[in-house]
Amino acid sequence: VSRFEGITMAPPDPILGVSEAFKADNHELKLNLGVGAYRTEELQPYVLDVVKKADKLLLEKGENREYLPIEGLAAFNKVTAELLFGVDNPVIRQQRVATVQGLSGTGSLRLAAALIERYFPGAKVLISSPTWGNHKNIFNDARVPWSEYRYYDPKTVGLDFEGMIADIKAAPEGSFILLHGCAHNPTGIDPTPEEWRVIADVIQEKNHIPFFDIAYQGFASGSLDTDAASVRMFVARGMEVIAAQSYSKNLGLYAERIGAINVVCSSPEAAARVKSQLKRIARPMYSNPPVHGARIVANIVGDSALFKEWNAEMEMMAGRIKNVRHKLFDSLSSKDKSGKDWSFVLKQIGMFSFTGLNKAQCDNMTNKWHVYMIKDGRISLAGLSLAKCEYLADAIIDSYH
Ligand code: PLP
C-alpha cells in the first residue's frame, strides 16, 4: 500500500482541463474556445514575426546562460515598467517603482500575494465577481483572505457599477482591491474612464491599495498606452499601486513565463525595501527567473523598429478578434428569431465574450455541439475563426432556448 494513499485525486483545472477534453474529442467540427490563447484564422497557434526576429538576433548574439539576478534581467525590468507606466512617468524617474521579473502574470501575482500575506497580516483582497479562475487559487495558496465585489450584472450583461462601488466602500479600510487593468476576464466588460475615476475616488477615500492585474495590455484597444490608462490614472493621483504584468498574450510568449510585479511606492526608500523583500520571497520559491523571454521583451521594447512592428502585429491580432466578434454578433442576430438582444457581444472587449450561458447550457455546447468552453459561460474569441461563427451561433442559440 502506498504511503501516498491519503492523497486524493485533484479535480482537473477548469480552464486548462478544457484543452485536455478537447484533444480527446475526434469530432470534425469541434472547437476549442476554452483557453485564452490567440489563434490565426486557420485556428493555429501564432508566433509573432517580431518575436521570431528577436529570437534570431539573440541567437546571433550568442549570449551566455548564466543565472539572472533574483530580481530578473535589468534591461527587462526597466522596459516593462516604462511600458506600463509610460517612459516619462515621474514615478520611474524618482525610482519609486519596485519592479521584479516574475514567472509571467501568475507568478507575479503570487509574489505580490506572498508580500501581502507577510506584511499585511489579516488584510483582505477584494476580487471581482466573477474573475479569472486562478485568482482565488493564488490567494488561497498564499493564505491571503479574499472576498468578492459585485462586478457583472446578468440583467444588463454589463457592469454592476453601483454594486462594485458599494462593495469597495464596505470593505475594511486598507484592503487590497484587485482590478483588471483592461479587458476584464472573463466578462470583457471594462469600466468607462469616468467610472474608473469614481473607483479611484472610493479606493483613495477608504485608504485601500489598488492591485492591478494587467494581462492584456494592448489587446483591449490595440494600443499599449490606451490599455494602461487605468493604471496610469491611479498612479497620477499619487496612490501607491501594485501591478502584475504578463507578456503571454500581447507578445504570444505564453510558455516563456515572462511578466513582472511592480509596486509603486511613495518614496524611493520604500521601493528599495519592497524590492528587497520581493527578492527574499522569490529566492526560496524558484531562486531566479528564466532569461529567454526577458531578453525577447527587452530587445523588442528597447528597439524602435521592432517596437513598431510589435504594435502593428498586436493591432492585427486585436483586429482579427474584433472582426470575429462582429461576425458572431451578426450570425446570432440574423439566426435567432426570439428577439433576444445580442448587442452585449459587441460591447465586450478583449479576447473573450461572456455569453451568459449557465452551466447546463455550457454542457449542451460541449456535449451536443463539441464546443469546448469554461462552464462560467466564457468563450475565447481568440480561438474562433470567421468561418466558424455561423456554427458557433447555431450552438449558442440552441443552448439558450
Ligand atoms: N491574469 C489574468 C486576468 C489572466 O487572464 C491571465 C491568463 O489567462 C493571467 C493573469 C496570467 O497568465 P500568465 O501566467 O500566462 O501570464
Q: Are 146 and 182 in contact (CB under 8 A)?
A: no
275-284 tens-digit pLDDT? 999 999 999 9
Widest CA span in the chain:
63
Q: Which atom of ligand 1 is nearest to the CA of 184?
A: 3
The predicted complex's ipTM stands at 0.99
What does the pLDDT read at residue 222? 87
98-109 tens-digit pLDDT? 999 999 999 999
Q: Please count the other Cβ atoms lying within 10 Å of the Cβ belonging to residue 154.
A: 11
Residue type, 32: N
CA distance 347 to 343: 7
CA distance 213 to 390: 34
* Binding-site residues, ligand 1, Cβ < 6 A: 36, 104-106, 132, 180, 185, 213, 215, 246, 248, 254, 259
What does the pLDDT read at residue 401? 83
Residues written for the chain: 401
183-239 tens-digit pLDDT? 999 999 999 999 999 999 999 999 999 999 999 999 898 899 999 999 999 999 999
pTM of the model: 0.96
Task: Identify the bridge partners of residue 155 per DSSP, sorted by sequence position.
Answer: none
What torsion, rounded to 10 degrees, do the Cα atoms 275, 211, 51, 53 define?
-50
Q: Of the residues 128, 212, 214, 246, which should be mutated to test ligand 1's pocket, given the most ligand atoms within 8 Å of the CB?
A: 246
What does the pLDDT read at residue 332? 96
